[in-house]
Amino acid sequence: AQKITQTQPGMFVQEKEAVTLDCTYDTSDQSYGLFWYKQPSSGEMIFLIYQGSYDEQNATEGRYSLNFQKARKSANLVISASQLGDSAMYFCAMREAYNDYKLSFGAGTTVTVRA
């Protein structure tokens, strides 16, 4: 079964607007962590934000916030005030306690910011 599902292959967003990237996950573990990474066209993987399964508050890092709905097993990334430099591929990933040596990734969402 797919551990991480990202259903939006590609999205367009207008500069300065907010965009939400969907991520749902599947685990039977009680302890897990959710990560979002950005991959610009240059190819490197850039860590954006982390949410722990026991965290009661949604994580925020600057213009990035994570809408964590544990009962629905979703961890959507919200990028506020989009900039041209936000154009990239975005990956949702999960690390589970029982196999903490591994990150399980979704297929990714390509975001294109329009001027």
Partner 1 sequence: EAQVTQNPRYLITVTGKKLTVTCSQNMNHEYMSWYRQDPGLGLRQIYYSMNVEVTDKGDVPEGYKVSRKEKRNFPLILESPSPNQTSLYFCASSFGGMVNTEAFFGQGTRLTVV
Nearer to partner 1, 81 or 97 (CB): 97
The reply to whether 45 sits near partner 1 by the rule CB under 8 A is: yes
Cβ 110 to partner 1, closest distance in Å? 10
Q: Considering the complex, state which of residue 31 and residue 83 has its C-beta at the smaller distance from partner 1.
A: 31
DSSP-assigned letters across all residues of 41-105: TT---EEEEEEETT--SPPEETTEEEEEETTTTEEEEEE-S--GGG-EEEEEEEEEGGGTT--EE
User: Quick check: 59 binds partner 1 (CB under 8 A)?
Assistant: no
| Tokens standing for residue 95 | 């690390």
State the residue for tokens 């990474």: 37
Helix H or strand E encompassing 37:
strand 32-39
Q: Which is nearer to partner 1, 44 or 56 (CB)?
A: 44
Contact residues for partner 1, defined by CB under 8 A: 4, 6, 9, 31-33, 35, 37, 43-45, 47, 50, 52-53, 91, 93, 95-97, 100-103, 105-108
